[in-house]
Amino acid sequence: MAVTAQAVAQLRERTGAGMMECKRALVETNGDLDAAAELMRKQGIAKADKKASRVAAEGVIASAQSADGKSGVLVEINCETDFVARGDDFAAFAAAVAKLVLEANPADVEALLAATLPAGETVDVTRRALIAKIGENISVRRFVRVESNGLLGSYLHGTRIGTLVAIEGGDAALAKDLAMHVAASNPAYLSAADVPEDAKAKERAIRIDIMKNDEKNKGKPENILVKIVEGGMNKWLGEITLVGQPFVKDPDQSVEKLLAANKATVARYERLEVGAGIEKKQDDFVAEVMAQAKGSGN
């Protein structure tokens, strides 16, 4: 049957797909808009499955907070390129997922993917449709939720780093400053007490070996060597813990002293950074271009 330009336009608006794809779907379904949209969604899911093996290490960190400021979430949504990460459709999807995490409080990513967005489709179905429209693999990688009995500070550094810091005491400005500090300094632990004993033991053993193998230390009393090692350990613990680090806005004082001055404590903090821990594929673009040139016969 003949397919009208108006029908194609309506299907494009509805699905975001290309004109020829819309026309073919309408021809296959005898002009039925609903059936064509369903057919394209199924085809889109098939396309999404083919792209699922491709590395998605770019993306955004999206955040959402409750109206009372007591709950906050961070969500990492990944794609393959920074170009797509800056797109409106991708940003809208990330924002909608963050809001859903805040409201539905899913147990894990699997539960989140099965949850329904306000538009009526699940997160996973919406994700797959977006893959079909954009042409890149898209994944919902992880999320964190922080609750606070006191104040909750949040900070987004662009769209690539997000932090949440729950404090007791202090004020909103302090909570915000601490969230910015966590984004900049990326502490591995809250305090020295939170560093696992095996990590401390490993670091101490390394430092002892370094001391023993240093010619400058030969002949020094054992108690002096112990003091040097412990001094290095204290410095190391200060570097990797939030309260031990120099405050980014005033490096002359530690975060611990800043908290004491404001009669505040940090109950919990979280930091997500796009692509952290994902092994990115290193493309050889010269080889890729040469291969394409050979394949074209030029």
Using DSSP bridges, classify how beta strands 139-147 and 265-273 pair: parallel, antiparallel or unpaired: unpaired
Rank 47-61, 70-84, 201-215 by mean pLDDT and report only the highest: 70-84
CA distance 179 to 152: 9
Residue bearing tokens 């026309």 = 23
| Helix (H) or strand (E) segment spanning residue 1 | none
Please tell me the pTM assigned to this model: 0.76
Which is the CATH superfamily of the domain at 58-147? Elongation factor Ts, dimerisation domain (3.30.479.20)
CA distance 74 to 182: 14
What fold, for 5-51?
A: Helicase, Ruva Protein; domain 3 (1.10.8)
**Whether the Cβ atoms of residue 79 and residue 138 lie closer than 8 Å to each other:** yes
CA distance 6 to 205: 74
CA distance 85 to 59: 5
Q: Tokens for 290? A: 């040469």
Q: What is the per-residue pLDDT for 285?
A: 45
Rank 46-50, 119-123, 213-217 by mean pLDDT and report only the highest: 119-123
Beta bridge partners of residue 271, listed in sequence order: 163
**Is the predicted pLDDT of residue 115 greater than 70, yes or no?**
yes
- As a residue count, the chain comes to 298
Which of 220, 232, 266 lies closest to 247 in space, CA to CA?
A: 266
Q: What is the per-residue pLDDT for 298?
A: 47
Mean pLDDT, the chain, integer = 88
% of residues, the chain, pLDDT over 70: 87
Per residue in 236-270, pLDDT (tens digit) is 999 999 999 999 999 999 999 999 999 999 999 99
- Residue ranges per domain, the chain? 5-51, 58-147, 192-254
